[in-house]
A and B are shown apart, each in its own frame.
Chain A
Amino acid sequence: NAGVTQTPKFQVLKTGQSMTLQCAQDMNHEYMSWYRQDPGMGLRLIHYSVGAGITDQGEVPNGYNVSRSTTEDFPLRLLSAAPSQTSVYFCASSSNPGRGTEAFFGQGTRLTVV
């Protein structure tokens, strides 16, 4: 059971470039989300999805787009990368947070924007 898989693990971008961070889960979870973690800080929610075709903004959504065309996949798009988006990005999924279930996290994508 792979759980939550994020690709790539590492990425270097130039300012102004765009890219997509991939996230896939094989647990048939309805809920998926993206967080970013900056050095010495906790995780901050970027966007989340409560099911295929439904997404919403989190705490720090600016500069990022998401879509959810399937239950399994929840890609995060950086439209025009900026140095302030240098961070570690984590994707998470859960079956039904309304019942107090836990979130499963991927291993992260370490992004550097130069």
Chain B
Amino acid sequence: DAKTTQPPSMDCAEGRAANLPCNHSTISGNEYVYWYRQIHSQGPQYIIHGLKNNETNEMASLIITEDRKSSTLILPHATLRDTAVYYCIVRVPQRGDQKLVFGQGTRLTINP
């Protein structure tokens, strides 16, 4: 699986959009980009994933650059409950391989 690089920490004001970057310059053609978050020692929570196209769900949007070497997770209207560690993971989804490699992630703090 390709290596990812994320900033260790970010701050965002409540109500504003939080944009979390992830660099994955060695990503291969069949690797997906996944985002999870972990709120204060709870179990990780899936947010979104994508391959090439931008994706949106009820939680967030995922913007993947055309060359797929980087991506941005967007929380459109951040709330205090979005304070968490956010993990960007790149992997090939395949049967028999469940390993999710969680790096250090980005600690996002939403300020009132």
Contacts and interface: CB of A to CB of B under 8 A. Distances in A.
A56 B105 CA distance: 27
Contacts of B93: 97-101
Contact of A103 (B46, B51, B104): B46
A114 B105 CA distance: 30
A108 interface: yes
Interface residues of B, number: 24
A48 B100 contact: no
Contact of B100 (A43, A98, A99): A43
Contacts of A33: 98
Interface string A14-42: 00000000000000000101010000011
- A-B CB proximity, top 4 nearest: A105-B43, A42-B102, A102-B46, A98-B95
